[in-house]
Amino acid sequence: MTQVEPEETQPHLLVKGWVPPSLDRDFTVVGKPVNRIDAPEKVTGRARYAGDMKLPNMLHAKILRSPYSHARIKRVDTGEAARLHGVRAILTKDNTRGWSTLWYWVPQPAFPEVVTFVGQEVAVVAADDIDTARSAVNKIEVEYEKLPAVFDVQDALKNDAPRVLVDDSDAKEGNIFGSNPSVLSRGDINEGFKAADFVVEGTYKTPFQYPGSLQTRTCVAQWDGSRLTVYESCQGVWEVREQLARSLGLEPRAIRVVTKYQGGGFGGKGGAQRFVHYAAKLSMMTKRPVRLEFDRAEEFFLHPRRSAALAHFKSGVRKDGTLTAMYARVVLNIGSGGNYGRVPYDAIMLPHTLYRCPNTYFEQLGVHTNLQYSGPVRSPTMMIAVSCLEAHVDEVAEAVGLDPIDFRLLNYNPYADQERRTRFSSKSLDKAMKSVADAIGWERRRQYAHSPRSGPRRRGLGMATYMYHGVGLPPYEANADVIIRRDGTCELHAGVTDIGTGSATALSMIAAEELGVEMDDVQIAYGDTDSARFASPSMGSRVIPEMGPAVLQAAAEARNRLFAVVAPTLQVPVGELRSAGGYIYPASNPSRRVAFKDACRELDQGSPVAGHGSRAPNPGSFPRKPNTDPMSFATFGAAAAEVEVDVETGEVRVLRTATAHEFGRVINPKLSASQHYGGVLMGLGFALLEEPLSDGRTGAMLNPDLHQYRMPTSLESPEMTPINIEGEDSYFAYSAKGAGEAIDTGVPAAIRNAVHNATGVWLREYPMTSDRVLSAIKKKEREELKTDKPSAEP
Amino acid sequence: MLNELPPVEHIDARSVSEAARLLAKHGPRARVIAGGTDLLGLMKDRVEGESMPLPDLLVNTKGISDMGVIRLKDDGGLQIGANVTLAEIQVSELVKERFDILRQACESVATPQIRNVATVAGNLCQRPWCWYFRQPAFDCFKKGGRLCYAITGEHQYYFSVMGLGVCIAAHPSDLAPSLVALGASVTVVDQNDRRVIPLDEFFTGPRQRFENVLRSDEIIVDIDVPSQADGTRGVYLKSRPRHSWDFALASSAVLLDVSDGRCERARVVMGGLAPYPYRSRAAEDVLKGKAVDEHSAKEAAREAMNDAKGLPMNRYKLDLGRTIVRRAILAAAGTVRD
């Protein structure tokens, strides 16, 4: 192992250009439990979502979908459909040749010659009303030539397996994304296993998971002859604008995209996807506004879902508990495609980084099947990585007789790159582990494991840890502007979409803090490409770490310009002025204050003062080149769960959870608690309930509904303790990093490990539905009867 | 939401005879609607086939006041109007006093929102919750096709392990096991006549397209629950994947009449395990004349599941069914373990 001294750079706020010095006073807004600013509109029904837009002469569009999982489209006859009264336009592959749409950023023909999953788009009709559109869809005749299909990854990896993407260069040979596995390694894995006293291995399965947003994806596109306006339900208005511009051959400035309110995104509403392209094209063809809304089934199978995984883990460990070797092969079922094939290291980055281990070999394969696209859903592949790794690590800890937390601390890795020994900008995972252990009452774990197993309901405790990005993503282009007007209004212009996380509230708080005004004095314009400069989409926990510094810079600059206006009056230099709670005062004499609003009156009517902020990139490059260019910015966290398992029915109840996330600093504890609660429930659904099932012969999804695709209800909700681990990280605005994605990741393995504590059974397949749990318990009981050996106590 | 209903005519019937007349006149494309929690979903999803055409007429019976009352009969039995909602049964003092098992069954159904509109007759007549049946793409046996897709496909949850036949969907009703255990019957009316069908003759088997003997021109007007002997105690237990809005993987309605420590009369009926509410006389015989304890309950539960076969994906239901029956027996006897 070569040790290289990391380059020392002075931590500094990640912005372009200069930031006025900090006000150097206690916070007046940040850290306070402020209500979300859009709550009144939302709870009173005044908020107008994309689906609420009713424009004059608006047409309604409906999509015709493939009934087959793999078929060549020989002929599409729209004759009869087009003759239907009220039908205004129909799009098929025949009248859109050469037109490319974007799936996230992957260019794709607008309509395929060969459909590769049930539900893929074959045609779209725009009509005067939705009934007519639906009737027309039913009248389109399509002749298909059925092709052999494959749904299971192991089948898809066989030599004679049908090729899923015949025309796609992504899969040159066979069905492996990029034709080869992605590999991360260090040291010598064989030597590592030789040095081990115990070798522990297991194969883990994780399911596809859906975002399950309450609002199905909807847009209204309006072409007025020179400009396209799209009311969308997307996660990033700028991203959609850029994608539409590329696809439709328009100048980006000829497109306006608006998403003010969003009924959930969770990754699924990233990008324009094909449906927005269709609505826009239909509007341009008919010169009328076009509305396209998914029904619930479409929301399931036309949006991306999390890949399913089959992961084999094998670790070598010494008697004292130190890891000597770690190996994993993670096979992802990515369906007919998915941009997450393009992040080829995501499922193995975590096992490569989380523990100190000199010898590792990890490989990840994305495998194409004739199922729907896969893509981002809250911690896309990190959820898979944590759920498998942290399940496996508990088995390793048990093999050496160590408490799972002791084992994790023993093998704790403080480095971003273990070989070069580079540090993270901050890492408090040990603190996170200890906090969840304290909160859940970890000391009871031994008692549960060793208590006599009487009665059918048994309790157990489990935990898991995670690492997640949450520090911004390339191109790190986030811009914010603050304008202070003569009437005392402070406008914040931020080009992000608030997908329900409360980012508009949090960014307003940062502006208010830095301006020294009350929250109510800040008016934020967001979710509209006409109201702000470029910002990246809301995904990857990037909004606060990426926009935060830009907003802080813009506010500080605007504030200092106002200071310059009032400095002569107060007879102190600008650098000695402070502001807080709506007043400006000299640092040395706070009683000589002027109201912020009075100061604003000195501004000219037509010349407000403004400040501008722009995010600078994180040091280091991206995509990460593992081993040579270590990630040194991240967030960390831990989850613990207490469960009660009914060993006679297999039912698992999660009684309580504790989740600790390293935020840097929490801008708003109410909003951060929401992320903990939502993360726990999404993790609980993944752990125990949510599983889409497809018919093995046709590949058709059998439960595209909220009834049998079971998401947790309030009755499944445990008592949840959210814990925020705070600490300094000067790269970010007030040290604040992201939190939206990651908190769900630790929950499934924590629940799974708790089930083992309660029952002595290792479950290796998620979700741990009652039938699986019961079958596993009964299997163990029968095996024990057969071998007549006493039940193994952990 | 976009899931529009197909075009359909809707008539508010003012009386049972008017409703029956409309059904007779329009034939199988006319359907009775009350709560509509199942019917409207089937229509929106376009679940149809040769033996289940999409309705073009809905005859609404919600306005018929006689059909919405619970009445205590002179003999101590209960007459429940077909359109009484599950939520109304849940809070009815009449039900709670002597027929608490019915309240328990209602409480376990779906969600509060659904229980507020779903009716007792609708619950008995709901169609299978087999996902192949509910998906328009599969023309399964129940819709008029020839095959059951679930036998060779996915059948983890709402499927049978007993009474197997062409269709393996388990009967979904939570009320049916309790009402069968109580010896209830339904009163059915057509435009000319009225007949009373005991519930244990009401449900058909896995070789029929429909789950019950009701003809398309007939309406259930009320459900008749006979008076129960003093000291009869009933328990309905249900195991489901999720604690709300889910049907039974296995359920059990048990009525016991225990005096002087001996079981005088027992009724053991199961749900979620067969294409119809499955009464086990063998289990009842085990209990009769005995003290109800861990031992006899276990023995009865084993008998109850004696004919169960299990399919590749639902063998766990054999263990689960035994547990649920045993626990319901013990709970009804008042000797709840743990």
In contact, A207 and A767? CB cutoff 8 Å: yes
Q: Is the pLDDT of residue A166 over 60?
A: yes
Per-residue confidence band for A134, with pLDDT thresholds at 50, 70 and 90: very high
Q: Is the pLDDT of residue A105 over 90?
A: no
The pLDDT value recorded for residue A104 is: 81
Q: Out of B131, B137, B338, whose CB is closest to A703? A: B131
Is B323's CB within 8 Å of A703's CB?
Answer: no
Question: For testing the chain B interface, which of A294, A707, A761 should be mutated: the one with the most B CBs within 10 Å?
Answer: A707
Amino acid at A592: R
Q: Is the pLDDT of residue A4 over 60?
A: no
* Best CA proximity match to A760, nearest among A733, A779, A739, A735: A779
- The more confidently predicted of residues B246 and A347 is B246
The C-alpha angle A200, A201, A206, rounded to 5 degrees, equals 140
DSSP string, B167-214: --BPP--SHHHHHHHTT-EEEEE-SS-EEEEEHHHHB--TTSSSSB--
Q: Is the pLDDT of residue A172 over 70?
A: no
Q: Out of A131, A714, A770, whose CB is closest to B241? A: A770
* Best CA proximity match to A50, nearest among A243, A304, A289: A289
Question: For testing the chain B interface, which of A708, A714, A775, A782 should be mutated: the one with the most B CBs within 10 Å?
Answer: A708
CA-based nearest residue in chain A for residue B317: A771
Is A713's CB within 8 Å of B242's CB?
Answer: yes
How close does chain A come to B15, measured CA to CA in Å?
Answer: 33
The pLDDT value recorded for residue A787 is: 79
How close does chain B come to A733, measured CA to CA in Å?
Answer: 40
Amino acid at A240: V
Mean pLDDT over the full length of chain A: 93
The pLDDT value recorded for residue A452 is: 64
The pLDDT value recorded for residue A455 is: 85
**Element of type H or E holding A218:** strand A218-223
**Element of type H or E holding A554:** helix A543-570
Q: Out of B156, B157, B323, whose CB is closest to A648? A: B323
Per-residue confidence band for A722, with pLDDT thresholds at 50, 70 and 90: very high
Sheet holding A577-580, edge to edge: A577-580, A583-586, A594-595
How close does chain A come to B338, measured CA to CA in Å?
Answer: 6
CA-based nearest residue in chain B for residue A708: B246
The pLDDT value recorded for residue A62 is: 97
Q: What is the pLDDT of residues B124-180, one digit of tens each?
A: 999 999 999 999 999 999 999 999 999 999 999 999 999 999 999 999 999 999 999
Is A708's CB within 8 Å of B4's CB?
Answer: no
CA-based nearest residue in chain A for residue B133: A702
* Percent of chain A clearing pLDDT 90 (strictly above): 83
How close does chain A come to B135, measured CA to CA in Å?
Answer: 7
The pLDDT value recorded for residue A347 is: 87
Three-state SS string over A431-445 comes to HHHHHHHHHHCCCHH
In contact, A395 and A762? CB cutoff 8 Å: yes
Put simply, whether B294 touches A (Cβ < 8 Å) is no
Put simply, whether B4 touches A (Cβ < 8 Å) is yes
State mean pLDDT over A352-367.
95
Is A67's CB within 8 Å of B137's CB?
Answer: yes
In contact, A270 and A239? CB cutoff 8 Å: yes
Written as six digits, the tokens of B26 are: 């329009």
Per-residue confidence band for A704, with pLDDT thresholds at 50, 70 and 90: very high
CA distance B152 to B33: 34
Chain B contact set for A707 (CB, 8 A): 245-246
Three-class SS state of A595: strand
Q: Out of A695, A708, A715, whose CB is closest to B244? A: A715
Is A294's CB within 8 Å of B2's CB?
Answer: yes
Chain A contact set for B114 (CB, 8 A): none
The pLDDT value recorded for residue A279 is: 98
The pLDDT value recorded for residue A107 is: 85
Put simply, whether B3 touches A (Cβ < 8 Å) is yes
How close does chain B come to A543, measured CA to CA in Å?
Answer: 30
Chain B contact set for A770 (CB, 8 A): 239, 241, 249, 320
Q: Is the pLDDT of residue A578 over 90?
A: yes
Is B3's CB within 8 Å of A296's CB?
Answer: yes
Q: Out of A118, A702, A778, whose CB is closest to B131? A: A702
Q: What is the pLDDT of residues B234-278, one digit of tens each?
A: 999 999 999 999 999 999 999 999 988 899 999 999 999 999 999
Q: What is the pLDDT of residues A413-422, one digit of tens each?
A: 998 888 888 8
Q: Is the pLDDT of residue A792 over 80?
A: no
How close does chain B come to A540, measured CA to CA in Å?
Answer: 29
State mean pLDDT over B61-82.
96
Give the β-pairing of A228-231 and A255-258.
Answer: parallel
How many CB pairs (< 8 A) connect A and B? 98
Per-residue confidence band for A301, with pLDDT thresholds at 50, 70 and 90: confident
The pLDDT value recorded for residue A597 is: 96
Q: What is the pLDDT of residues A451-471, one digit of tens each?
A: 766 789 999 999 999 999 889
Residue A93 DSSP one-character state: S
The pLDDT value recorded for residue A177 is: 85
In angstroms, the first-to-last Cα distance of chain A is 36
Q: Is the pLDDT of residue A22 over 60?
A: yes
Q: What is the pLDDT of residues A525-558, one digit of tens each?
A: 999 999 999 999 999 999 999 999 999 999 999 9
CA distance A6 to A376: 33
Question: For testing the chain B interface, which of A49, A649, A686, A782 should be mutated: the one with the most B CBs within 10 Å?
Answer: A649
Is B249's CB within 8 Å of A216's CB?
Answer: no
Q: Which residue has the tokens 């208005």?
A: A237
Put simply, whether B136 touches A (Cβ < 8 Å) is no
How close does chain A come to B308, measured CA to CA in Å?
Answer: 16
CA distance B35 to A86: 34
What lies within 8 Å, CB to CB, of B213 at 6+ separation is B197, B201, B202, B203, B204
Chain B contact set for A651 (CB, 8 A): 239
Is A648's CB within 8 Å of B3's CB?
Answer: no
CA distance A90 to A349: 45
Three-class SS state of A645: strand
Is B319's CB within 8 Å of A774's CB?
Answer: yes
Kindly state the greatest CA–CA separation across chain A: 91
Q: Is the pLDDT of residue A171 over 70?
A: no
Written as six digits, the tokens of B24 are: 């007779």
Burial class (CB in 10 A: 0-12, 13-18, 19+), A362: buried
The pLDDT value recorded for residue B260 is: 87
In contact, B173 and B276? CB cutoff 8 Å: no
Chain B contact set for A118 (CB, 8 A): 137
Residue A666 DSSP one-character state: -
Q: Is the pLDDT of residue A682 over 80?
A: yes
Give the Cβ contact number of residue B76 at 10 Å: 13
DSSP string, B8-72: -EEEE-SSHHHHHHHHHHHGGGEEEESS-TTHHHHHHTT--BTTBPPPSEEEE-TT-GGGG-EEE
Is A649's CB within 8 Å of B153's CB?
Answer: no
In contact, A336 and A371? CB cutoff 8 Å: yes
State mean pLDDT over A509-535.
97
Q: Is the pLDDT of residue A341 over 60?
A: no
CA distance B33 to B67: 13
What lies within 8 Å, CB to CB, of A788 at 6+ separation is none
How close does chain B come to A310, measured CA to CA in Å?
Answer: 20
In this structure, chain A runs to a length of: 794
* Percent of chain A clearing pLDDT 70 (strictly above): 94
Q: Out of B3, B246, B319, whose CB is closest to A778? A: B319
State mean pLDDT over A45-60.
96
* Residue A307 phi, psi dihedral angles, 5° rounding: -60, 150
Per-residue confidence band for A327, with pLDDT thresholds at 50, 70 and 90: very high
Is A695's CB within 8 Å of B149's CB?
Answer: yes
Per-residue confidence band for B182, with pLDDT thresholds at 50, 70 and 90: very high
> Which of A39-48, A176-185, A189-198, A340-349 comes out lowest in average pLDDT?
A340-349
State mean pLDDT over B18-45.
96
Q: What is the pLDDT of residues A608-657, one digit of tens each?
A: 999 999 999 988 754 455 444 444 889 999 999 999 999 999 999 999 99
CA-based nearest residue in chain B for residue A769: B241
In contact, B101 and B112? CB cutoff 8 Å: no
Is B241's CB within 8 Å of A769's CB?
Answer: yes
How close does chain B come to A456, measured CA to CA in Å?
Answer: 8
Is A710's CB within 8 Å of B4's CB?
Answer: no
